[in-house]
Amino acid sequence: MYIGEVAGSPIAGHRVVITGIGAVTSCGVGANTLFEGLVSGSYSEDHTVPGFDPSVWFGPKEVRRVDRFAQLTLAAAVEAYEDAALTVTNPERAGSIFGTGIGGMTTLTAQTTVLATKGPDRVTPFLAPMMMPNAGCAQVAMRYGLTGPAETITTACAAGTHAIGYAARLVASGRLEVAVTGGGESVLDPVAFAGFRNMTALSTTGISRPFDVARDGFVMAEGAGALVIESLEHATARGARIYAEILGAGSTADAFHITAPREDGAGAQRCMELALIDADLTIKDVGHINAHGTSTPLNDLAESRAINAVFGDDAPPVTSAKGVTGHSLGGAGAIEAVASVITIDRGLIPPTIGLENIDPDIHLDVVVGSPRELAKPVVLSNSFGFGGHNGCLVIGRIS
């Protein structure tokens, strides 16, 4: 994202590097556990986070006063912060930027039941801070005393990606030296399930099959992903290990339909193009696309058309993590950004689990069966959300 000398680029400023990663997903607790699950196809069948004990991160009172989505968000952020071996010396230039699609819905629905069955006096006084979508980023800011911007992006399933892109721009501009950023979600709630099911968005089989001819909807999951990002100068000065660099980011709107993507994928196409322009790269520089790939009939086909429109016959290998992770809505893009960083770090593209027979209308080189070597250390990570929100990140090995 260092584009000060690129004519017409959206921003100019400092190079932005990634020095810490963290994740809690249906593969388990930890970023490495996530990647091992993506490679092996090992995950919890109910798509909760196995082995997650909030008391590791919160005291007994806090556990009861913090919604699970914010618990997951903080857990991922703590791993990333510790992985970066970060000590913030200038808290006003350190920020917490996170995304979520819905926030504390499980608390809201539970307290609605309390209201109906026990009356208003029994509703928890902590309802507001538990249900508010900005609770996750607030928890991170309070934990580490980050007094710079603490902001929340709520663009449905693109929220995690948009949060990282926005945080990177704050660092690139010089407003921040360092940011903890990502996204989290936990709405495995009867009301949420009913709503998504009744709009026919969920898989009737409970199996996520990205790009498969038999795909029939997404599988809802919980999870969170987090990155520590810094200006290259700040990271170098403190001797930090650098995983990768955020080279560019794109954001567009379909302006088409509240849930369905444009059939031609035009909004997603433009988002990918803008991200590559932002990174000052061409299509030939990209070694892998971490697709949104939700396993819904409309999304996967529209995304494939968008990729074909951008890359033509030269599209790099594509994979979707959601065959393993399921779809954690506002947390998905952040989780996939973490997976993209590890893909670059290890030089290995995980396969698309759940894909058995590719849809004949999808013309992509989808990685299946076993991992594949990453030939070029640049990953384009896509996220597309209800409302027509499109977000893309370009992440590459530091040069």
Active site residue 137: no
What digits encode the pLDDT tens for the residues 31-52? 999 999 999 999 999 999 999 9
> Rounded mean pLDDT of 363-378?
98
Domains of the chain: 16-237 (3.40.47.10), 249-396 (3.40.47.10)
- Torsion-angle region of 234 (φ positive above 0: left; ψ -120 to 50: alpha; else: beta): alpha
For tokens 């909030």, the residue is 54
Residue of 191, 195, 167 whose CA lies nearest to 181: 167
Check pLDDT > 80 for residue 116.
yes
Check pLDDT > 80 for residue 2.
no
> 71-86 b/e with 16+ CB inside 10 Å = b?
bbbbbbbbbbbebbeb
pLDDT the model gives residue 12: 55
Confidence category of residue 313, pLDDT binned at 50, 70, 90? confident
Catalytic residue, chosen from 47, 288, 292, 389, is: 292
CA distance 189 to 107: 9
Q: Are 159 and 153 in contact (CB under 8 A)?
A: yes
Label each residue of 317-340 as H, E or C.
Answer: CEECCHHHHCECHHHHHHHHHHHH
Residue of 208, 160, 126 whose CA lies nearest to 329: 160
What digits encode the pLDDT tens for the residues 68-97? 999 999 999 999 999 999 999 999 999 999
Active site residue 392: no
Catalytic residue, chosen from 47, 162, 234, 327, is: 327
Please give the torsion angle defined by the CA atoms of residues 273, 276, 278 and 279, in that order, rounded to the nearest 10 degrees.
180
Neighbours of 132 (CB within 10 A): 18
pLDDT the model gives residue 277: 96
Residue 32 has which token pair?
A: 């490495």
pLDDT the model gives residue 13: 82
Lowest mean pLDDT among 9-18, 150-159, 380-389: 9-18
Residue 29 CA, chain-centre distance (Å), reads 16
Amino acid at 334: A
Catalytic residue, chosen from 27, 137, 157, 392, is: 157
Its pTM surpasses 0.75:
yes
Average pLDDT, the chain: 95
Check pLDDT > 80 for residue 8.
no
Residue 64 CA, chain-centre distance (Å), reads 26
CA distance 267 to 274: 11
Confidence category of residue 64, pLDDT binned at 50, 70, 90? very high
Active site residue 292: yes
> Rounded mean pLDDT of 5-23?
73
Expressed in angstroms, the distance from the first to the final Cα of the chain is 13
